[in-house]
Structure 1
Amino acid sequence: MTMPLDIAKLADILRLAAKTEILPRFRRLGGGDVRSKSEPSDLVTEADEAAERLIRRELEALAPDALFVGEESVAADPALLGKLANVDFAVVVDPVDGTFNFASGIPAFGVMASVVWKGEAVAGLIYDPMGDDWVMAEKGAGAYLRRPDGEAIKLSVAEPRPLEAMVGMASPGYFFGERREQILANLAKVRFFANYRCSAHEYRTFSSGHVQFVLYNKLMPWDHLPGTLIAAEAGGHVARFDGSPYRPHHVDGGLLVATCRDSWQMLRREIIGD
């Protein structure tokens, strides 16, 4: 399909935001530069807000007709999130994914963006400021690791493994009560699972072929639209827990990504259960 904006230019904007507003603040945040939002571990920093302002300003020049949906913009105006269900053209941005890590001085965070066209994600980008590279995909064109010098490496998910040999990424913190206990107990069936507190790096890890699954319960479009498209273009199977497709306006229903449909079904049965 024809992209409604230049993806290479969008990639450059994410990098510019990181170089200008994010990296200069890394491990240099003052006491008033970090604030809690919904809970003590849900943070926003001056870097998040400054980076989002820069990205929005640059996008208004690049794609003036696009609805801009940024994580911090939605925090200020929650009604903005609901517009994704019906808009023809939008750009969804997470200025600093992994804010808890960033604020803690842990070098595992990313800058993410996705392009939504007529109800579906058609491009996704995840920029790693520390590694200075992107993983990115356009719908139907495969997924790639791209570097600033133009080098591009095609990405492919890992080979399937039996359940007991699987390694994956899971975020059990957004399951609650007995459901959380059930999920954690079921995850003992796999060989190993981790949680980077950063979906940017979890999707990069999956799409680069290093783990067999990623699992989330909380769905916000800026956290998952780029990674799910990249994962699918790298050969993975993506669906909500009930097997339905994941769409830009979905904010519930859970999300499971696996190396293939058969692995997805096995993980759904053994880990998610009824």
Structure 2
Amino acid sequence: MTSAIDIAAVANILQEAAFKEILPKFRNLGAGDVRMKSEAIDLVTEADEAAERLIKARIAEIAPDALFIGEESVAANPALLDSLAGADLAVVVDPIDGTFNYAAGMPLFGVMAAVVSKGETVAGVIYDPMGNDWVIAEKGSGAWLCKADGSQERLATVPSVSLESLVGCASTGFYSPKNRRIVMGNMAKVRIATSYRCAAHEYRAFAGGHFHFLMYQKLMPWDHLAGTLIAQEAGAYAARFDGSPYLPHHVDGGLLLAPDKDCWEILRREVFTV
């Protein structure tokens, strides 16, 4: 499938935003340049807002009819998110995924964009400003690591292994305290369960065959649309906790990704059931 918007052009826009707005401010943020949103671990920086403004302006140039959904735009106008489900064409953007890491001076953050057409994610890109490369997928065309020199490498998820040998990432911060204790206890059944606090790099690592699973509780579209499509195009099985497909308008219900459905079922039953 070819996206309704040139995903290569979107990839270049994310790179431009990183070079002009994100990287110059990395480890150069002043005290007033970092602000708390909902809680101490939910931050926004001047770089997030400046990068989103640039991306929005460039997307308007290449796709003037597309609805633009950005994390910071929705923070300013929460009602904007409600328009995604009915949009004929939308671009969903996270200007800096991993803002907590970015604000702390840790080089683990990314820039993400997804193209949604009539309620379906049809393309996604995750750009790594530090590595200057992209992971890109269009529905039905596979997932690819695209380097700045023009070379490309097709991505594939790693085959499943036994439960006790599984390595993955799990975000448990949005469970209730009671359920968090249950899930974190269950995670002792796998070999390693960690969190990068950056979905962009978690999805990149998973699609590249370095993790066996990913689990998320809160499903904001800018965090997961691009990564889920990329993972699926790399061969992963992805579904919400009740087994239903993950769609662009979903913001809850949990999300679990694994190499195949059998592994997904084992993880859901043995680790993430509460």
Distance 1:137 1:65 in 2: 22
Count of residue pairs the alignment pairs up: 274
SS in 2 for 1:54: helix
Distance 2:107 2:196 in 1: 11
Is it true that 1:57 corresponds to 2:53 in the alignment? no
Quote how far apart the aligned CAs of 1:163 are: 0.3
Quote how far apart the aligned CAs of 1:273 are: 1.7
Equivalence for 1:28: 28
Equivalence for 1:185: 185
Is it true that 1:258 corresponds to 2:258 in the alignment? yes
Distance 2:203 2:174 in 1: 18
Distance 1:65 1:148 in 2: 29
SS in 2 for 1:87: coil
Equivalence for 1:105: 105
Equivalence for 1:215: 215
Quote how far apart the aligned CAs of 1:243 are: 0.3
Equivalence for 1:74: 74
Distance 1:125 1:89 in 2: 16
Quote how far apart the aligned CAs of 1:98 are: 0.1
TM-score when normalising by structure 2: 0.99
Quote how far apart the aligned CAs of 1:2 are: 3.4
Quote how far apart the aligned CAs of 1:248 are: 0.3
Equivalence for 1:133: 133
Unaligned runs of 5+ in 2: none
C-alpha deviations, 1:176-197, integer Å up to 9, x for none? 2211111101111000111000
Q: How does 1:233-272 map to 2 (within 5 A)?
A: 233-272=233-272
Q: How does 1:88-167 map to 2 (within 5 A)?
A: 88-167=88-167
Is it true that 1:232 corresponds to 2:235 in the alignment? no
SS in 2 for 1:174: coil
Distance 2:2 2:9 in 1: 15
Distance 1:174 1:55 in 2: 29
Distance 1:63 1:199 in 2: 26
SS in 1 for 2:226: helix
SS in 1 for 2:95: strand
Distance 2:11 2:202 in 1: 19
Equivalence for 2:170: 170
Distance 1:93 1:37 in 2: 18
C-alpha deviations, 1:121-151, integer Å up to 9, x for none? 0001000000000011000000000012211
Is it true that 1:202 corresponds to 2:199 in the alignment? no
C-alpha deviations, 1:12-47, integer Å up to 9, x for none? 000000000000000000000000000011000000
Unaligned runs of 5+ in 1: none
> Is contact 2:114-2:124 (8 Å) kept?
yes
Distance 1:2 1:203 in 2: 22
Percent sequence identity over aligned pairs? 62
Distance 2:100 2:57 in 1: 25
Is it true that 1:6 corresponds to 2:29 in the alignment? no
SS in 1 for 2:271: helix
Quote how far apart the aligned CAs of 1:73 are: 0.2
Distance 1:9 1:145 in 2: 16
Letter aligned with residue 129 of structure 1: P
Distance 1:83 1:149 in 2: 38
> Is contact 2:164-2:191 (8 Å) kept?
yes
SS in 1 for 2:235: coil
SS in 2 for 1:188: helix
Distance 1:217 1:115 in 2: 22
